[in-house]
Amino acid sequence: MFAEKLKKNGYIIKSFKDKDYTNVIRRIIKKHFFKNEEYYCKVSRDKFSKIALKCQDEINRSGIIKRFHLSEKDFLKQLLPKDLPMYSSSGYLRVVRPSLKKNNTESLSWHRETFYSNKKTTYHAINVWFPLSKVDKKNMLKYIPKSHLISDKKIKRRRVKVLNNKVKKLSPEHKLGFVYAPKKILSGVNLKKQKKFKINNGEFTAFSALLVHGNGENTTNKIRYAFGFGIIPKSKVTSKKIDSKNNTYIEF
Ligand SMILES: O=C(O)CCC(=O)C(=O)O
Ligand SMILES: [Fe+2]
């Protein structure tokens, strides 16, 4: 049933079986972000990213992806009935500060994963994403319903010039999942059809890497924390290397 749902809708929302799962990560976040909210909103992006990267590293070292695998064994069997899950060796702390001024967002713009990876495996990737702070309609990740069914050739995109805050390759921002050569969708997707994911705390979404998503601008006055990583069906993995950041595919 989960496999069919993913195919049809492009995403699934489910609660974690391991009820302590997100608390483990929240505790690590609290450890790194122990000052008041205002402080982190005011520091430079560079400084903020360095703090967030340290936090992301500790979350990854804590074995959070393996814990997901153990928590969601039954789910994964239903999701990949004839296959086995492999995972990106580390995940991303998806942290977005409030965008107080217009066009000052630190969120990822609309994309599907093939915009930033030309590997064949990417077409089969499933993204796992879940909130770690209060999420509502003002800071939620968005998606375009059924956009996973649009052929990649039909989506015309172009690289855009970034004037301020350009993300450099292998910088802390890049390691946090931001892109150094952002692209903009020109045609092929009706962005007006956008919807917000409705995911409560203690739940996650597993969505097709082809589902157009992003634009999770944060217009609240609090930092939005989420976490995400990729799953690839083992039969689709042709090379263990994922990206320039030394990520590989692993299995448990
Ligand atoms: O959290 C976000 O704003 C972006 C997430 C994303 O692009 C992903 O998980 O693939
Ligand atoms: Fe993404």
pLDDT at position 136 is 87
Pair of tokens at residue 248 = 């590989």
Which residue's CA is the nearest one to ligand 1's atom 6?
Answer: 214
CA distance 42 to 32: 16
CA distance 88 to 42: 32
CA distance 180 to 11: 27
- Taking the centre of ligand 1 as the mean of its atom positions, its distance from the CA of residue 252, in whole angstroms, is 24
Give 159's strand partners: 183
CA distance 1 to 14: 13
Beta strands 213-214 and 92-96 are unpaired
| pTM score above 0.85 | yes
Beta strands 203-208 and 11-15 are antiparallel
DSSP class of residue 50 equals: H
pLDDT at position 36 is 95
User: Hey, what domains does the chain have and what are their CATH numbers?
Assistant: 2-236 (2.60.120.620)
With a 6 Å cutoff on the Cβ, whether 231 touches ligand 1 is: no
| Amino acid, single-letter form, for residue 66 | K
pLDDT at position 188 is 98
With a 6 Å cutoff on the Cβ, whether 206 touches ligand 1 is: no
Q: Splitting the chain (252 residues) into consecutive groups of 10 residues, what average pLDDT does each group show?
A: 96 97 97 96 94 98 97 97 96 91 75 92 96 91 98 96 84 94 96 96 97 92 95 91 86 95
With a 6 Å cutoff on the Cβ, whether 125 touches ligand 1 is: no
With a 6 Å cutoff on the Cβ, whether 141 touches ligand 1 is: yes
pLDDT at position 161 is 87
- Taking the centre of ligand 1 as the mean of its atom positions, its distance from the CA of residue 90, in whole angstroms, is 14
With a 6 Å cutoff on the Cβ, whether 205 touches ligand 1 is: no
pLDDT at position 118 is 79
